[in-house]
Amino acid sequence: MNPYLLIVLLTSLGLGTALTLSSTHWLLAWLGLEVGTLAILPLMAQRHHPRATEAATKYFIVQATAAATLLFAAFNNAWLQGHSDIQHMSHPLFTSMITLALLLKLGLAPMHTWMPQVIQGVSLNTGLIVSTWQKIAPFILLLQIKQIHPPLLTIIGLASILIGGWGGLNQTQLRKILAYSSIAHLGWILLILQHSTALATYALLIYIFMTSATFITLKKCKATTINMLTTTWTKAPTITLVAPLMLLSLGGLPPLSGFAPKWFILQELTQLNFIPHASIAAMAALLSLSYYLRLSYSITLSLSPNNLPECLQWRVNYPISTPLSSALPAALALTLFLLPLTPSALTLII
Amino acid sequence: MSYLVCVLLFGLMVGSVGVAWNPSPYFAAMGLVMVSGVGCGVLICFGGSFLPLVFFLIYLGGMMVVFAFSAALSAEPYPYGWGNRSVKMYVAAYVLGVGCAWKVLLGKWSGFWGGILDESGELLVLRGDMMGVAAMHDVAGWMLVLGGLGLLLTLFVVLELVRGVSRGGLRTV
């Protein structure tokens, strides 16, 4: 792509999120969301093959619908209330409508169906941006809305965790697996949002680190299906060593960082006496863990048959370097080693 | 009156659908003209005097113009800019000619600015929409600039998505 245009688009991506994060008026928040949506469309359709074009079209239609609903509800609320402040919304119907619009933007069940298709259709780097950066702005808006109908968030959160787990079970395409994992993680975040915004932010932060590490690893291995993961040991033995830990961190196992958000969310839910919610969430996390384990099995725990020249790729092509390679050590360190640092990490957020 | 609003809103829908639903986007401009007209009518039915005219202006002078030129630009296989070899000479000659005419005809700077209206400082009717637009520019002027930046970004995004002579959205082959 033309480098000038690439710079403009990436800057606008950052600008859109920054606008939304710094806004107290719904119009500016909507403006930031729209700028973010528009800026990523050419990045998605870069390859110009039909699947990418289709993914860009679907993404645009879904995000535009959500933005239109958001604007409609925000202005209705402003008409009834007299001001367009994000943090002082009072009308229950329009608060729910805005919440649903933001959840559609995030890709939570039952409005999740676009996520696997969109992330599958785009390249791994663009999928990384859609999975991580584009979640920040709607999440921050959700944090600021008070008095959301509690059953709404709980039901959608639990449904997302379940659908994220069950949907990913039958997938062989890695990008679809990561899309369902994104749905599940955002379900966990939504579950705790009404009770503790600090924990929700922490969960989102850890999710962003883990997903970034996973996408960059897949990009380095040039793997888009599970079958392609089986030759990782020939290309990058170090990644073969670390990748299962990264995937188990996504699954939420101690002593890796992914355990911390789940642990604290379950603790908070039990302290507030939401036992069924905590139980269902914990058990549904096992569904996600099963497909992460399947990926670890393909990468590390089994050696697939291969012919001799291909077993020595790491001698010839070392080091594999993609544009995001330099971010991988940082993302991996944050994915694996953050659990002992949780108290100080939480003080950054509370 | 409400029947008129219903008819106009129906026309708005038909025009909007007409913008998107056509084999050739050059005909979509007609849909934009229709939408601007009936949209202006809808706003008038709800009591506006300034805003309907602004609506007309933005739709026809902003949206339709940009739509038409971006449709034409994205379908152009070899767009000739000012820097192109065959155009540079003409551009240089034109600028030279304008400079000479300026010097010859408008030798002195008279300071005449052609005041349009006498500034009476008194409006007969304070319309809500006019005062609202003024207040919006006063308070949220910078947000309007951001909105303009967003629209500029939209133009770049659309041109990037649609371009490509044979593999773009708008084909000239």
ipTM, two decimals: 0.83
Task: Report the domain count for chain A.
Answer: 2
Residue B121 has pLDDT above 60, yes or no: no
Residues of A in Cβ contact (< 8 Å) with B153? 8, 12, 35, 38-39
The last residue of a domain, from among A102, A126, A148 = A148
Average pLDDT over residues B54-64: 91
Residue B113 has pLDDT above 80, yes or no: no
On whether the CB atoms of residues B38 and B12 are closer than 8 A, the answer is: yes
Q: What is the DSSP string of A180-246?
A: HHHHHHHHHHHHHHTT-HHHHHHHHHHHHHHHHHHHHHHHHHT--BHHHHTTHHHH-HHHHHHHHHH
Check whether residue A259 and residue A155 sit in a common domain: yes
Residue B114 has pLDDT above 70, yes or no: no
Cβ distance B160 to A5 less than 8 Å, yes or no, reads yes
For residue A217, the enclosing domain spans 149-350
For residues B1 and A231, the model is more confident at A231
* A4 in B contact zone (CB under 8 Å): no
**What pLDDT is stored for residue B111 in this prediction?**
44
Residues of A in Cβ contact (< 8 Å) with B144? none
| Peptide bond between residue A92 and the one before it cis (omega within 30 degrees of 0) | no
On whether the CB atoms of residues A305 and A231 are closer than 8 A, the answer is: no
B74 is written with which tokens?
A: 């994205």
Q: Which residues of B touch A (CB under 8 A)?
A: 143, 146-147, 149-150, 153-154, 156-157, 160-161, 164, 167
Looking at the complex, report in whole angstroms how far the Cα of residue B153 sits from the nearest Cα belonging to chain A: 7
Check whether residue A153 and residue A291 sit in a common domain: yes
* Residue B80 pLDDT class (50, 70, 90 cuts): confident
User: What's the whole-model pTM score?
Assistant: 0.87
Quickly tell me which residue has 């958001």 as its tokens: A70
* Nearest by CB: B150 against A31, A41, A48: A31
Those residues of chain A that have pLDDT short of 70 are none
* Nearest by CB: A38 against B146, B154, B164: B154
B48 is written with which tokens?
A: 């506006």
Check whether residue A66 and residue A187 sit in a common domain: no
A152 is written with which tokens?
A: 């709404």
Rounded Cα gap, residues A60 and B170, in angstroms: 18
Check whether residue A141 and residue A225 sit in a common domain: no
Rounded Cα gap, residues A170 and B83, in angstroms: 56
Per-chain mean pLDDT for chain B: 80
The last residue of a domain, from among A100, A130, A148 = A148
Give every CB contact of residue A208 below 8 A, 6+ residues apart in sequence: A132, A135, A136
Spell out a b/e string for B118-150, using b for 16 or more CB atoms within 10 Å of the CB, else e.
eeeeeeeeeeebbeeeeeeeeeeeebeebbeeb
The last residue of a domain, from among A148, A178, A209 = A148
| pLDDT, tens digit, 9 for 90 and up, residues B125-149 | 666 677 788 888 888 889 899 999 9
**What pLDDT is stored for residue A312 in this prediction?**
85
Residues of B in Cβ contact (< 8 Å) with A6? none
**What pLDDT is stored for residue A90 in this prediction?**
87
For A5, the closest chain B residue by CA position comes to B156
* A38 in B contact zone (CB under 8 Å): yes
- Reduce the DSSP state of residue B13 to 3 states and report it: helix
